[in-house]
Amino acid sequence: MRTFSKILIANRGEVASRVIRTCHEMGIGSVAVFSDADESASFVSEADEAVRLGPAPSPESYLRGDAIIAAAQRCGAEAIHPGYGFLAENADFAQAVADAGLIFIGPSPEAIALLGSKQASKEVVSKAGVPVVPSFDLEAPNDIVYPVLLKASAGGGGKGMHVVRSHDELAPALESAKRIAQTCFGDDTILIERFVESPRHIEIQILGDSHGTLLHLFERECSIQRRHQKIIEESPAPNLPIGLRDAIANAAVAVGKAAGYSNAGTVEFIVAPDGEFYFLEVNTRLQVEHPVTECVTGIDLVRQQILVAQGAALEISQEDVHQVGAAIECRLYAEDCDNGFLPCSGRILDFHVEPAAGLRVDSGVESGSEISIHYDPMLAKVITHGCDRSQALQRMKRSLTRMSALGTITNREFLLRVLGHSEFVAAAIDTNFLSTHATSLEKQPASENLTNRALVVAGYARYQQRTEQRTVLSSIRPGYRNSRWRDASETFRWDEREATVHYRAASDGSLTMRVDEGEVHRVRLTEGSATGTCAIQIDGHRQRYRVCLRGERSLVQADGRSFDFATKPRFPKRDAMRVEGSCIAPMPGRVVQVLVENGVIVAEGDTLLILEAMKMEHRIQADRSGVVQGLDAVAGDQVAGDQVLAVVNAE
- Work out how many domains the chain is built from and give that number: 5
Flag whether pLDDT at 118 surpasses 80. Answer: no
CA angle 243, 249, 251 (to 5 degrees): 105
Dihedral angle at the C-alpha atoms of 172, 637, 608, 156, nearest 10 degrees?
30
Same domain, 493 and 542: yes
528 band by pLDDT with thresholds 50, 70 and 90: confident
Phi/psi of residue 536, each to 5°? -120, 135
CATH code of the domain containing 11: 3.40.50.20
Of the residues 200, 226, 285, 504, only one is catalytic, namely 285
Amino acid at 524: R
User: Could you say which of 58, 85, 105 is where a domain stops?
Assistant: 105
Q: 3-class DSSP state for residue 246?
A: helix
Same domain, 477 and 413: no
Phi-psi region of 202 (alpha: psi -120 to 50; beta: other; left: phi over 0): beta
CA separation for the pair 366, 405 (Å, rounded): 9
pLDDT at 139 (0 to 100) = 81
**What are the percentages of helix, strand and coil residues in the chain, rounded to 5?**
25, 35, 40
**Alpha-carbon separation of residue 183 from 54, 57, 378, 612, 640 (angstroms):** 17, 11, 19, 10, 21
Residue 123 lies in a domain: no
CATH code of the domain containing 602: 2.40.50.100
For the chain, percent of residues with pLDDT exceeding 90: 70
Q: Is the bond leading into 236 cis (omega within 30 degrees of zero)? A: yes
pLDDT at 575 (0 to 100) = 43
pLDDT at 71 (0 to 100) = 98
DSSP H/E element including 194: strand 190-194
Write down the pTM of the prediction.
0.84
Phi-psi region of 522 (alpha: psi -120 to 50; beta: other; left: phi over 0): beta
Q: What would the pLDDT profile of 121-135 be if each residue is shown by its tens digit? A: 888 999 999 999 888
CATH code of the domain containing 489: 3.30.700.30
Cα atoms in the 13 Å half-sphere on the side-chain side of 233:
26
Q: What would the pLDDT profile of 10-51 be if each residue is shown by its tens digit? A: 999 999 999 999 999 999 999 999 999 999 999 999 999 999
CATH code of the domain containing 156: 3.30.1490.20
Write b or e for each residue in 394-425: b if 16 or more Cβ atoms lie within 10 A of its Cβ, otherwise e: ebbbbbbbbbbbbbbbbbbbbbbbbbebeebe
pLDDT at 231 (0 to 100) = 97
CA separation for the pair 413, 446 (Å, rounded): 12
Q: What would the pLDDT profile of 239-253 be if each residue is shown by its tens digit? A: 999 999 999 999 999
CA separation for the pair 285, 84 (Å, rounded): 6
Residue 536 lies in a domain: yes
pLDDT at 293 (0 to 100) = 98
**Annotated catalytic residue 285:** yes
CA separation for the pair 593, 635 (Å, rounded): 5
pLDDT at 613 (0 to 100) = 79
Average pLDDT of the segment spanning 157-161: 70
CA separation for the pair 18, 195 (Å, rounded): 35
Same domain, 463 and 415: no
Q: What would the pLDDT profile of 416-439 be if each residue is shown by its tens digit? A: 999 999 999 999 999 999 999 999
User: Could you say which of 105, 124, 157 is where a domain stops?
Assistant: 105
Q: 3-class DSSP state for residue 611?
A: strand
- Range list of H helices, 325-470: 389-402, 412-419, 422-425, 433-436, 448-469
Domain limits at 65?
A: 6-105
Close Cβ partners of 521 (under 8 Å, ≥ 6 residues apart): 456, 512, 513, 514, 538, 539
Sign of CA dihedral 93, 95, 99, 100: positive
DSSP 132: B
Residue 110 lies in a domain: no
* In 486-625, beta strands by DSSP E: 488-494, 497-505, 511-515, 520-528, 532-538, 541-550, 553-558, 561-567, 582-584, 589-594, 601-602, 607-613, 616-621
- Residue 61, exposed/middle/buried by CB under 10 A (0-12, 13-18, 19+)? buried
Residue 112 lies in a domain: no
- Residue 294, exposed/middle/buried by CB under 10 A (0-12, 13-18, 19+)? buried
Q: What is the chain's mean pLDDT, rounded?
A: 91
Flag whether pLDDT at 203 surpasses 80. Answer: yes
Same domain, 469 and 516: yes
Flag whether pLDDT at 113 surpasses 90. Answer: yes
CA separation for the pair 439, 71 (Å, rounded): 50
Q: 3-class DSSP state for residue 618?
A: strand
Same domain, 319 and 423: yes
User: Could you say which of 105, 126, 158 is where a domain stops?
Assistant: 105
pLDDT at 137 (0 to 100) = 84
Q: Within 10 Å of residue 584's Cβ, how many Cβ atoms?
A: 15
Amino acid at 267: V
Flag whether pLDDT at 316 surpasses 80. Answer: yes
Same domain, 219 and 357: yes
Sign of CA dihedral 432, 433, 434, 440: positive
Same domain, 173 and 229: no
Total residues belonging to the chain: 651
CA separation for the pair 452, 438 (Å, rounded): 28
Comparison of pLDDT for 468 and 290, the residue scoring more: 290
Same domain, 313 and 221: yes
311 band by pLDDT with thresholds 50, 70 and 90: very high
Flag whether pLDDT at 576 surpasses 60. Answer: no
What's the gap between Cα 204 and its chain centre?
22
Residue 169 lies in a domain: yes
For the chain, percent of residues with pLDDT exceeding 70: 94
Q: What would the pLDDT profile of 56-87 be if each residue is shown by its tens digit? A: 999 999 999 999 999 999 999 999 999 998 99
- Residue 6, exposed/middle/buried by CB under 10 A (0-12, 13-18, 19+)? middle
Residue 576 lies in a domain: no
Contact 20, 47 (CB under 8 A): yes
Flag whether pLDDT at 169 surpasses 60. Answer: yes
pLDDT at 157 (0 to 100) = 60
378-386 and 326-333 strand pairing: antiparallel
Q: What would the pLDDT profile of 178-202 be if each residue is shown by its tens digit? A: 888 887 777 888 889 888 889 999 9
Flag whether pLDDT at 142 surpasses 90. Answer: no
CA separation for the pair 578, 576 (Å, rounded): 6
Maximal CA-CA distance, the chain: 87
Contact 552, 569 (CB under 8 A): yes
Average pLDDT of the segment spanning 583-600: 88
Same domain, 425 and 478: no
Query: Concatenated DSSP letters for 349-399?
Result: -EEE----TTEEEEES--TT-EE-TTS--EEEEEEEEESSHHHHHHHHHHH
Residue 127 lies in a domain: no
Nearest Cα residue to 461 out of 402, 523, 518: 523
Flag whether pLDDT at 154 surpasses 80. Answer: no
Q: What would the pLDDT profile of 550-569 be if each residue is shown by its tens digit? A: 989 999 999 999 999 998 76
Same domain, 143 and 277: no
Q: What would the pLDDT profile of 269-279 be if each residue is shown by its tens digit? A: 999 999 999 99
Amino acid at 107: P
Same domain, 218 and 161: no
Q: 3-class DSSP state for residue 622?
A: coil
DSSP 630: S
Residue 121 lies in a domain: no
Same domain, 454 and 525: yes
Q: 3-class DSSP state for residue 319?
A: helix
Average pLDDT of the segment spanning 312-330: 96
CATH code of the domain containing 368: 3.30.470.20
pLDDT at 472 (0 to 100) = 44
pLDDT at 473 (0 to 100) = 44
